[in-house]
Amino acid sequence: MEWNLADLFESVVDVLPDHEILVGGGRRLTYAQLEDRANRLAHHLAEHGVGPGDFVGTYLYNCTEYLEATLAAYKLRAIPVNVNYRYVEDELRYLFDNADLVALVHGREFTGRIAAVQADCPELRHFVAVEDGSDADLRAIGAVEYETAIAAASPARDFGPRSGDDLYVLYTGGTTGLPKGVLWRQEDFYLATIAPLVALGGAPPDRPEDVAELARNGGVVSLIVPPLMHGAAMWVALMAFYAGGKAVLCESHRLDADEVWSLVGRERVQSIVTVGDAMVRPLIEALDAPGADYDLSSLIAIGSGGALLSSAVKEQIRTRLPNVLIIDSLGASESGYQGSVVGEDAAGHPRFRMGPSTTVLGPDHRPVEAGTGIVGYLARGGHVPLGYYKDEAKTKATFVEADGKRWAVPGDMAVLEADGTITLLGRGSVSINSGGEKIYPEEVEAALKRHPDVFDAVVVGVPDERWGERVAAVVVPRAGRTPTLESLVETARQHIAGYKLPRELHLVPEMVRSPSGKADYRWAKTTALSPPAAE
């Protein structure tokens, strides 16, 4: 047996066939039922030419079919590709071509968008449509209905041998640039990301055969709030599959606090998976809405992955849910899961306790000495991706080598402290250079969110004749409030140095973020380059 995602799943199916593993959209699936549906879809795809090494798109909102399609692809040694459901036609055309998709499992409502780009993607030849209540005409692309397809296919587990060298891919748009596919060997991906999550603070499995034995002990019930196209959501779903837990899916197309808190009570959820302030702040504040009454007695933890929680939001959680653990995790598509926040420095930068494979590299791509205060790049060694799919230049820039060791360096700036912890400063690609001083937007945003009139904030650099760049704040105020630049500066000055303070303010009714909750710095920059609302 190998560290293969399909092999490992099947090993857990064999020891926990009747254990409920997945809940969503009114459907409840045991391991055996999920296996049956994934096998059937795999056979259907194989009958339509999908085989080892082929890329299969998953173009869906959260639903059980998303995970069935993911497993079906792995069973065939094919590679599932996450498709952002917010993409417009030009973006879909780029992604379908870049990922070399040959098949697509999609929501019926997306048929029109697919039809508009189909002629430009000749390799994309088969479509399976999941019913979603829409009335789109599937004949436009020759799609087959999902339930019809699996009903006619074999449920047998009669697939050929697989390998730890089979591929896992995660397409990521990040905060800037076109989406790019991060390509992993499945063995490296599992050991870097899923194994430490499955271990839940204990020892990870030493052998593939140990995964099913650990699953016998059962895992936690996790509520997945973000879209499954986001790495943090998919990783937790896979963790549930391999840990004997249960994944509960939020299926609203927009964040619905009532759905989240109602599911916690109804499904006896123990852990909620979120992405940053954009998700957590509305959830916590909804608990104080008139008439709010939820059973949260089962809840043990609120976790955030992909975007860190600000100190202000953490304080809100502690005030409203004092017995709930806050798990603020660090990870990236290029590095997998790396660790959790253990504290903050005086400026509010998060400090992490990392594993032995993570360190800080200097400009020579060699680890810096602890306690020197040198600002370098956060890096992970050991089990790292092969690179970006079909992008040799970006692969060389992100996955570097020194002294025979290969490192994944996604671009986060950090300091290795004397005690071995790592202080994270922020993403270098969006840092602001003002008079030669580096300013990381995350720390300014965290300071602004402490202001009582601020609901959300994103910070960018705009041109300045004297300093090169100055700090501009794009802020969503709380309802009925109109914060001024002066009042924001007064609050922020208590937490950050003067040169980091915003010099202009742009008030907006709504913040544009990715579906996962990450800040859209390109949009914020465009907004900030318009005449400021206040100065």
What span, in angstroms and rounded, lies between the C-alpha atoms of 331 and 333? 7
What span, in angstroms and rounded, lies between the C-alpha atoms of 48 and 45? 5
What span, in angstroms and rounded, lies between the C-alpha atoms of 289 and 528? 33
What span, in angstroms and rounded, lies between the C-alpha atoms of 259 and 476? 24
Res 177: pLDDT: 57
User: For residues 226 and 279, is the Cβ–Cβ distance under 8 A?
Assistant: yes
Mean pLDDT within 300-323: 91
What span, in angstroms and rounded, lies between the C-alpha atoms of 387 and 390? 9
pLDDT band at 532 (very low <50, low <70, confident <90, very high): low
* pLDDT tens string 136-167: 999 999 999 999 999 999 999 999 999 999 99
pLDDT band at 224 (very low <50, low <70, confident <90, very high): very high
pLDDT band at 91 (very low <50, low <70, confident <90, very high): confident
3-class DSSP assignment, residue 33: helix
**In the predicted model, is pLDDT for residue 215 greater than 60?**
yes
One-letter amino acid of 5:
L
User: For residues 115 and 138, is the Cβ–Cβ distance under 8 A?
Assistant: no
238 token code pair? 């896979």
One-letter amino acid of 220:
V
Dihedral sign, Cα of residue 322, residue 231, residue 201, residue 412: negative
**In the predicted model, is pLDDT for residue 488 greater than 90?**
yes
What span, in angstroms and rounded, lies between the C-alpha atoms of 509 and 512? 10
Best CA proximity match to 335, nearest among 184, 176, 164, 175: 184
* pLDDT tens string 471-480: 999 999 999 9
- Sheet of 167-172: strand order equals 167-172, 180-185, 387-388
Percent of the chain with pLDDT over 70: 96
pLDDT band at 516 (very low <50, low <70, confident <90, very high): low
| List of long-range contacts for 156-159, beta carbons under 8 Å, 24+ apart | 156/39, 156/43, 157/10, 157/35, 157/39, 157/75, 159/6, 159/42, 159/75, 159/76
Mean pLDDT within 335-343: 84
322 token code pair? 């004092």
What span, in angstroms and rounded, lies between the C-alpha atoms of 143 and 151? 15
498: number of Cβ within 10 Å = 8
3-class DSSP assignment, residue 162: coil
3-class DSSP assignment, residue 333: coil
Average pLDDT over all residues of the chain: 92
What span, in angstroms and rounded, lies between the C-alpha atoms of 111 and 49? 21
Res 468: pLDDT: 83
Res 535: pLDDT: 46
The count of C-alpha atoms lying within 13 angstroms of the C-alpha of 221, restricted to the half-sphere facing its C-beta, is 15
pTM of the model: 0.86
Burial (0-12, 13-18, 19+ Cβ within 10 Å), 3: buried
* pLDDT tens string 14-69: 999 999 999 998 899 999 999 999 999 999 999 999 999 999 999 999 999 999 99
Element (H, E) at 67: helix 64-75
One-letter amino acid of 57:
G
Res 519: pLDDT: 82
Res 338: pLDDT: 84
3-class DSSP assignment, residue 259: helix
User: For residues 233 and 239, is the Cβ–Cβ distance under 8 A?
Assistant: no
191: DSSP letter: I
3-class DSSP assignment, residue 37: helix
What span, in angstroms and rounded, lies between the C-alpha atoms of 282 and 327? 18
256 token code pair? 């619905």
**In the predicted model, is pLDDT for residue 79 greater than 80?**
yes
Structural domains in the chain, CATH included, are: 5-19+29-199 (3.40.50.980), 208-410+419-426 (3.40.50.12780), 430-528 (3.30.300.30)
Question: In terms of DSSP H, where are the helices of 159-267?
Answer: 186-189, 195-199, 208-215, 231-243, 257-267
Mean pLDDT within 240-263: 95
**In the predicted model, is pLDDT for residue 176 greater than 50?**
no
* pLDDT tens string 367-380: 999 999 999 999 99
Q: Quote the distance between the C-alpha of residue 241 and its chain's center.
A: 17
Tell me which residue has tokens 């953490």.
314
Percent of the chain with pLDDT over 90: 72
Tell me which residue has tokens 């692809």.
73
What span, in angstroms and rounded, lies between the C-alpha atoms of 252 and 62? 8
* pLDDT tens string 186-211: 999 999 999 988 876 567 888 999 99
459 token code pair? 């910070």
Q: At what angle do helices 89-98 and 111-118 cross, to 10 degrees?
A: 60
14 token code pair? 């064999």
**In the predicted model, is pLDDT for residue 175 greater than 50?**
no
**In the predicted model, is pLDDT for residue 411 greater than 90?**
no
Burial (0-12, 13-18, 19+ Cβ within 10 Å), 77: buried
135: number of Cβ within 10 Å = 7
What span, in angstroms and rounded, lies between the C-alpha atoms of 167 and 162? 11
